Amino acid sequence: MRMTTDSPMTDEAVRDAGVEVKPVAGHIGAEISGVDLAADLDDTVVAAIRSAVLRWKVVFFRGQRLDHAGHVAFARRFGETVLLPRRGKASPPDFPEIETTADRLELGGRFGMEHDEWLRRRRHTLLRGWHCDHGARVDPPAATILRAETVPPYGGDTTWSNLAAAYAGLSAPLRQFVDGLWAEHRLGVGYQPRPGDDAYVRHLLDRQVASLHPLVRVHPETGERILYVNGYYVEQIAGLSRPESAAILQMLLEQAVRPEYTVRFRWEPGSVAFWDNRATMHLAPGDTAHLDHPRIMHRVMLAGDVPVGVDGRASEPITGTAPGRW
């Protein structure tokens, strides 16, 4: 997160800061109470939240009254915010740090297809929707802070997976094997084109982003080894044939999304989720397209560093990406 690298706080120190951290699943996720994110937070409270994010990978706040300015101010307590050069029409023009994701507005009418068709073509397998934010970049964001403005009365949950726990759950021989592997992460992997000319394919080719990342990255703050896979960006494991790569990636993705490594969050207006994008992947909901209810969310991302593998080698850009340049 380009956050400080102080040691995580002890549970007692977190309690002394007046912050209550209540885990909600065995390996990932905690709900934090006793904090008003719109207030001028004390440094000890900020440190307690940061410690909880590092330990539980994603933390949740409920009943918050953040506006756009408050959202950005909160994010800046934890690192450098990302300024996106291109955002959707729903994003607030006066806050370049904020990207608004309004499901029915995201791709509706663009590239000759409605959003539902784009979603079907992008998520045509059970694992395709799982991703870390901007994973094709050479320096993916360190963290994301997502705020719910309007949510359906039911449906629309988000699910996260702890990729450190997934790595630790592999057998020792398999951990040793994947420690030395690298994989190409590319924007638009797995999208199924429309018959004939596909404007979205042309859009992807014009704005292609790809990087070579270690299949196991070392977390820059905790030192944990992270199974750095996801269903949306990973193209192929370098040095393996396509059949070998496909079989191994399928196995690793299935490992990464085992229920015991995941947590699912029921959004409410005013809910905020803050997750470590270096140690998790997440699945946006796919159960709201048939509901006549809007789902409007606002996100701010924190700038990240270039991943480093077990051998100390750093990720390499392939095309369309450079550290710190969005």
Q: Decide if 131 is catalytic.
A: yes
Q: Decide if 299 is catalytic.
A: yes
- Name the catalytic one among 27, 50, 123, 131: 131
Q: Decide if 203 is catalytic.
A: no
- Name the catalytic one among 103, 133, 139, 276: 133
Residue 243, judged by CB atoms within 10 A of its CB (0-12, 13-18, 19+), counts as exposed
Contacts of residue 284, Cβ cutoff 8 Å, sequence gap at least 6 = 129, 158
Contacts of residue 135, Cβ cutoff 8 Å, sequence gap at least 6 = 185, 213, 230, 232, 233, 234, 281
- Name the catalytic one among 55, 282, 295, 298: 282
The letter for the amino acid at 43 is: D
- For the chain, how many residues are written? 326
The letter for the amino acid at 116 is: D
* H-state helical runs in 189-279: 199-206, 242-256
The letter for the amino acid at 239 is: G
CA distance 113 to 22: 43
The distance between the two most distant Cα atoms of the chain, rounded to a whole number of Å, is 62
Active-site amino acid positions = 131, 133, 282, 299
